[in-house]
Amino acid sequence: MSNMYEEYNRENAAYQRRWADDAACRLPSLAKYCERFYKAYEAFRGVILEHAHEDTPQNDKMIKELISVKKNALLNWEKTVALDVMQIKRYGNDRDKAKLRENMFWIRGTIRSVDELFNNRTKEGDEE
């Protein structure tokens, strides 16, 4: 019976290390995500505003939905980065951690903690 648990633990550890390696390789493209997203968002917003000639409930609804898409996309990006950072810190090898250190300049101040993102807590630990 313990052999089954040992095999599970070995496979799980290998999976965690692969995830950390993939996460470290993904960091440079995640850094460019916001810039690419904002360019696409502004272009799409411009198209909507160009064709929204009057202040109508339908146009207001379109703008509100566009803002909602923007918020959700950026929140999901932030969660992905936070989880990848956590994974690299826990299971990454020296090369993965070196990639993380190289990318910390854009991660610091941009990404909230995993606890804040997933548990609606601030840095002080209070519920929002």
| Three-state SS at 13 | helix
Main-chain dihedrals φ then ψ at residue 127, nearest 5 degrees: -70, 145
Predicted confidence (pLDDT) at residue 15 exceeds the cutoff of 90:
yes
| Residue 5 to residue 3: CA distance in whole angstroms | 5
List pLDDT tens digits, range 39-75.
999 998 888 888 777 777 888 888 899 999 999 999 9
Predicted confidence (pLDDT) at residue 124 exceeds the cutoff of 60:
no
106 contacts 31 by C-beta, under 8 angstroms: yes
DSSP, res 111? S
Token pair 């040992």: residue: 6
Predicted confidence (pLDDT) at residue 122 exceeds the cutoff of 70:
no
pLDDT band at residue 108, thresholds of 50, 70 and 90?
confident
Widest distance between CA atoms in the chain: 71
| Residue 57 to residue 71: CA distance in whole angstroms | 21
Q: Give the pLDDT confidence score for residue 55 in this predicted structure.
A: 74
Predicted confidence (pLDDT) at residue 123 exceeds the cutoff of 70:
no
pLDDT band at residue 127, thresholds of 50, 70 and 90?
very low
> In the numeric block, which tokens belong to residue 58?
């339908």
